[in-house]
């Protein structure tokens, strides 16, 4: 009887120890889970800040890169291209809306189908420039230049092979312009200046030459 009591007491003591150990273990696990949760929450909170910073930096880089890359179809609207060297650049279909091209070097460049709405070209050099299909009207063009039916017309421009049938180019200065193989049928050259222009291979049927020099 005494042995049974002692055995029962031992079992109860052992059971109490187990219960205590289980309680300690549960507490420890709870603390770890809480710590991991806090860490995860902190990590989750920190990520948006990092992401936003990277996106802002990327955006700033993209803006700078766009204005430095003058290529066909490029979006260059609002870019400051003052005195930029765009010699021989192909800007076909480029968006130059509101761009500042003051003093830009556009010698032998191509502006076919480009959008020049509100662009500023004060003092730009346009010798050898190819055009056609130009969209919009620039705020300012270099002195002596104009846009007629999508073509930038003026001294030294490249109009090789273009169809200028029925164009009215009265008083236009096309000195040094390249009109080789152009179709000038019934074009009006009244008071125009063609000194040094290349008219080789042009079609001149019905051209009005009144006071042309």
Q: How many CA atoms lie within 13 A of 181 on its CB side?
A: 3
Q: Say if residues 132 and 152 touch (Cβ distance below 8 Å).
A: no
| Helix, strand, or coil (residue 21) | helix
pLDDT tens sequence across 68-115: 878 889 999 999 999 999 999 999 999 999 999 999 999 999 999 999
Mean pLDDT by 10 residues, the chain (213 residues): 45 47 53 48 40 36 59 92 96 96 98 98 98 97 96 98 97 98 97 97 96 95
| Greatest pairwise CA separation for the chain in angstroms | 142
All structural domains of the chain with their residue ranges = 1-68
Q: What's the whole-model pTM score? A: 0.68
How far is Cα 53 from Cα 48, in angstroms, rounded to an integer?
8
62 token code pair: 């993209």
- Intra-chain end-to-end CA distance of the chain, in Å: 139
Secondary structure (DSSP) of 27-90: HHHHHHHHHHHHHHHHHHHHHHHHHHHHHHHHHHHHHHHHHH---TT-B-TT-B-TT-B-TT-B
């Amino acid at each position: 009887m005494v042995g049974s009591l002692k055995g029962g007491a031992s079992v109860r003591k052992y059971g109490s120890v187990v219960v205590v150990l289980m309680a300690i273990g549960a507490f420890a696990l709870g603390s770890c889970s809480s710590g991991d949760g806090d860490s995860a929450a902190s990590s989750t909170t920190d990520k948006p800040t990092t992401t936003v910073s990277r996106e802002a930096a990327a955006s700033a880089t993209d803006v700078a890169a766009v204005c430095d890359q003058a290529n066909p179809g490029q979006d260059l609207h609002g870019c400051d291209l003052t005195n930029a060297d765009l010699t021989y650049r192909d800007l076909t279909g480029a968006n130059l809306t509101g761009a500042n091209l003051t003093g830009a070097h556009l010698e032998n460049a191509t502006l076919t189908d480009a959008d020049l709405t509100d662009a500023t070209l004060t003092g730009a050099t346009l010798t050898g420039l190819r055009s056609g299909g130009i969209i919009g009207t620039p705020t300012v063009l270099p002195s002596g230049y104009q846009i007629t039916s999508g073509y930038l017309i003026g001294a030294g421009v490249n109009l090789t092979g273009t169809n200028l049938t029925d164009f009215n180019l009265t008083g236009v200065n096309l000195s040094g312009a390249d009109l080789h193989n152009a179709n000038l049928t019934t074009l009006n050259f009244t008071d125009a200046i063609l000194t040094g222009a290349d008219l080789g291979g042009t079609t001149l049927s019905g051209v009005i030459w009144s006071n042309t020099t």
